[in-house]
Amino acid sequence: MEYQFTKDCETGIAMIDKEHQQFFAYINEGMKDLAAGTEDSKKLAENVLKKLSEYAIFHFEHEENYMREHNDAELFLQIRAHQGFRDKVNEFTAKGEHSAESLKEIFGFMAKWLYSHILSTDTLIGKVENREKSFVMTKEFLTGIEIVDTEHTKLFEIIGRVYEIIDDEYMFDKYDPIMHILGELKEYTIKHFADEESYMESISYAGLPAQKLAHDAFVAKLGEVDATDESAIDNNQTEYLHDIADFLSEWLIHHILKMDTKIPVK
């Protein structure tokens, strides 16, 4: 199986897109070596794994530095995602010598993680803006699919309530109310994605696999927010919550405009 760097993976930032393409090339190189089915090919694949691990450090540093230079509000989430990937790779490499099957599993994990991460996070680099948001379903967001448009309207309404609380200058402790609404957002998002994927299945939509990867990655991101330690953000609560809300809202806007509006109407 060859993993493709598709159009929907492009961030529009030449350096980042080029490095993502190289990531996929390394993964495909490792899979090709394994397909040869010899002991030598297994050793070659292990060398590719080492190369991928080193390349991840190199790429993540470039990406994070770019975001720092551009004061990207999503940087803190990006750093955490990158560390999660490094931890998983360290877990793999700590096992020492690998079987052909375990190497296939590792390369598959890397490809899925990379694709999901690009769709859910990297494509937003430079696009998350700290601006006033009205969260109204204007014509540009309409897909023409009734259930999808209705549920998108609800998602905008929920995120709008997040901003209302954040911007309430008379509310001192905003963490618990925000987490409650984000819990509601996660629950409704899961329902929406299931409905949207069901519709895409009903029309045999070719873009469904990419949509599922993006959806899974976004739900995982919401799970990371749920697991956030309140004590770690107490000193900068409003800014932290604003960063979360900006990321969630921009992801939704970007996802609807770039992916959902391409879904054909029955």
The average confidence (pLDDT) of the chain is: 83
Q: Which among 42, 98, 87 has a CA at the least distance from the CA of 60?
A: 87
CB 92 within 8 A of CB 100: no
Question: Does residue 6 register a pLDDT over 60?
Answer: yes
**Alpha carbon 258 to chain centroid distance?**
14
Position 144 scores a pLDDT of 95
CB 49 within 8 A of CB 90: no
pLDDT-derived band at 20, boundaries 50, 70, 90: very high
CB 30 within 8 A of CB 43: no
Q: DSSP of 235-261, one letter per residue?
A: GGHHHHHHHHHHHHHHHHHHHHHHTGG
Question: Does residue 210 register a pLDDT over 90?
Answer: no
Reported as a single tens digit per residue, the pLDDT across 182-197 is 889 889 999 999 999 9
Reported as a single tens digit per residue, the pLDDT across 122-178 is 877 876 554 445 567 788 899 999 999 999 999 989 988 888 888 887 877 777 887
Which alpha helices (H) appear in 94-145, and where do they start and end? 100-120
CB 202 within 8 A of CB 208: no
Position 199 scores a pLDDT of 97
* Alpha carbon distance 152, 253 (integer Å): 10
- Supply 19's token pair: 């490095």
First vs last Cα of the chain: how many Å apart? 32
pTM value is: 0.68
Least confident of 168-182, 214-228, 248-262: 214-228
Position 226 scores a pLDDT of 61
* Alpha carbon distance 205, 116 (integer Å): 19
Position 30 scores a pLDDT of 87
6 versus 201: the higher-pLDDT residue is 201
pLDDT-derived band at 230, boundaries 50, 70, 90: low
Q: Which among 155, 176, 164 has a CA at the least distance from the CA of 248?
A: 155
Q: How confident is the model over 195-222, as a mean pLDDT? A: 88
Question: Does residue 231 register a pLDDT over 60?
Answer: no
For residue 159, count other CB atoms closer than 10 A to its CB.
21
129 backbone φψ class: left, alpha, beta (φ>0; ψ -120 to 50): beta
Question: Does residue 245 register a pLDDT over 90?
Answer: no
Reported as a single tens digit per residue, the pLDDT across 71-126 is 886 787 788 889 888 888 888 877 777 888 888 888 888 888 888 788 777 877 87
Position 234 scores a pLDDT of 54
